């Protein structure tokens, strides 16, 4: 059988990805990783496993639009309790916490921002929804903690001038779930603080999050300063970074489309 049509069991996939069996099982059940059932066992092609780290994580479990629309309405209303109930219901229906971030909370936030951009929402609504999002992440974040020894440290932050913090919190949680220790520097981080964190904590990777195009130049300056200090690989991500080529032009080592893809990229790197 040619190598890319080779059929793998979920345990074999977990071994190749260096993640827990249940993580692969969740990837399959939530549609991130295509799989077919042979008898009682799920099987994945080597090609599908291979492409897992390079494409944005897959669409949507059923009902995604529905959860995200319901959440958006509660967030715009500033209804934290109602927003949390929507998230709880989505998890009760089988969505894993990382899918809640990727398929429910992130799309709701993006839609709220895009509505504001089209002149259909107010700045106050966007700010109120962002405040609710912070609280939701605070509650949901506890479900991402991995047990046991960590697999390496990741310094994560946004460059000077970049005030979008929510994406960093979500990526941090997804990396924690994958077993990494995250040094979360937050948003609008001075360049020297990135350098200091690299010097003091010896991370396996530095992650730089860029949401607004206005912060691309300072992101490149962060990469240059980190490179001058150490050989630590630099992973770029965020809405303003287009792809791996763009990340390379900014001085990065790599690019990942979201937190789940970032965990896979780092896992491959340290293997
Ligand atoms: C919430 C929000 C805010 C909040 C931020 C709150 C906070 N503390 O984070 C507030 C209200 C403060 C805000 C301010 C502004 N915002 Co704003 N904001 C948004 C909004 C609605 C949602 C962003 C978000 O959290 N998305 C959810 C996250 C999870 O999705 P994501 O960013 O795509 O992240 C995923 C991936 O990109 C990736 N990823 C992200 N980071 C990283 C890092 C690494 C290492 C990796 C591997 C991957 C990765 O993983 C994430 C999922 O796993 C967007 C709308 C939108 N369409 O995105 C506008 C948006 C980003 N904002 C925008 C603008 C213009 C602004 C302001 C300039 C507005 C103003 N005039 O003041 C300021 C800028 C502040 C600054 N200097 O940075 C524009 C940016 C346009 C552009 N081309 O630059 C957007 C797109 C709105 C729009 N449609 O115009 N904003």
| Res. 2 pLDDT band, cuts 50 70 90 | low
Cα–Cα distance for residue pair 127/18, rounded to 1 Å: 39
Of 59-68, 115-124, 135-144, 191-200, the one with minimum mean pLDDT is 59-68
Q: Kindly give the distance from the C-alpha atom of residue 38 to the centroid of ligand 1, in angstroms, as a whole number.
A: 42
Strands (E) located in 14-87: 36-38, 41-45
Mutate to test the pocket of ligand 1, among 212, 243, 262 (most ligand atoms within 8 A of CB): 212
Q: What is the Cα–Cα distance from 83 to 105, expressed in whole angstroms?
A: 10
Residue 266 pLDDT > 70: yes
Q: Look up residue 259 and give its two tokens.
A: 């937190």
Q: What topology does CATH give the domain 3-51?
A: Arc Repressor Mutant, subunit A (1.10.10)
210's tokens: 């860029």
Q: Which mutation among 127, 141, 159, 164 tests ligand 1's pocket best, with the greatest number of atoms within 8 A of CB?
A: 164
For residue 211, the CA-to-ligand 1 centroid distance in Å is: 5
271/266 Cα distance (integer angstroms): 9
Taking alpha carbons only, the member of 154, 139, 146, 56 closest to residue 105 is: 139
List phi, psi (to 5°) of 10. Answer: -65, -30
Q: What is the 3-state secondary structure (H, E, C) of 77-98?
A: CCCHHHHHHHHHHHHHCCCCHH
How many angstroms does the Cα of residue 168 sit away from the middle of ligand 1?
10
What is the Å distance from ligand 1's center to 238 Cα?
A: 8
Range with the lowest mean pLDDT among 4-8, 230-234, 256-260, 263-267?
4-8
Fold for 153-270, please state it: Rossmann fold (3.40.50)
Strand (E) or helix (H) holding 260: helix 259-270
pLDDT for 32 equals: 64
Among protein residues, the one with the nearest Cα to ligand 1's atom 13 is: 164
Lowest-pLDDT choice from 57-61, 99-103, 151-155: 57-61
Structure tokens that stand for 184 in this block: 């979360």
- Whole-number pLDDT of residue 58: 40
Indicate the CATH number for domain 64-144.
1.10.1240.10
pLDDT at 52: 74
Half-sphere exposure of 88 (CA within 13 A, CB side): 7
Q: Measured between alpha carbons, how far is 127 from 192 in angstroms, rounded to an integer?
A: 29
pLDDT score for 20? 84
* Tokens (6 digits) for 146: 């991995």
Ligand 1 site, residue 127, Cβ cutoff 6 A: yes
Nearest to 86 by CA among 121, 132, 30, 25: 132
Domain locations in the chain as residue ranges? 3-51, 64-144, 153-270
Q: Is the CB of 62 under 6 A from ligand 1?
A: no
**From 91-95, 96-100, 132-136, the region with the lowest mean pLDDT:** 91-95
Rounded to the nearest 5°, which phi and psi values hold at 190? -60, 145
> Across all residues in the chain, what is the average pLDDT?
89
pLDDT of residue 60: 42
- The pLDDT assigned to 112 comes to 94
């Amino acid at each position: 059988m040619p190598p890319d049509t080779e059929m793998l069991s979920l345990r074999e996939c977990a071994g190749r990805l260096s993640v827990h069996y249940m993580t692969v099982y969740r990837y399959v059940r939530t549609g991130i990783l295509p799989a077919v059932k042979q008898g009682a066992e799920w099987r994945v092609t080597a090609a599908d496993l291979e492409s897992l780290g390079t494409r944005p994580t897959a669409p949507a479990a059923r009902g995604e639009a529905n959860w995200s629309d319901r959440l958006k309405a509660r967030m715009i209303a500033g209804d934290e309790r109602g927003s949390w109930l929507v998230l709880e219901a989505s998890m009760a229906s089988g969505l894993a916490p990382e899918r809640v971030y990727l398929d429910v909370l992130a799309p709701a936030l993006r839609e709220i921002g895009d509505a504001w951009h089209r002149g259909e929402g107010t700045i106050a609504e966007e700010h109120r929804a962002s405040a609710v999002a912070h609280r939701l992440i605070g509650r949901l974040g506890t479900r991402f903690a991995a047990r046991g020894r960590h697999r390496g440290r990741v310094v994560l932050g946004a460059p000077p001038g970049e005030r979008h913090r929510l994406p960093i919190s979500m990526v941090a949680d997804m990396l924690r779930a994958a077993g990494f220790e995250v040094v979360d520097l937050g948003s609008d981080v001075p360049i020297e603080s990135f350098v200091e964190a690299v010097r003091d904590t010896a991370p396996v990777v530095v992650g730089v999050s860029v949401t607004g195009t206005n912060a691309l130049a300072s992101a490149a300056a962060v990469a240059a300063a980190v490179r001058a200090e150490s050989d630590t690989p630099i992973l770029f991500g965020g809405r303003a970074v287009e792809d791996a080529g763009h990340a390379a032009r900014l001085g990065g080592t790599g690019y990942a489309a979201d937190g789940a893809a970032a965990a896979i990229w780092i896992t491959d790197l340290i293997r």
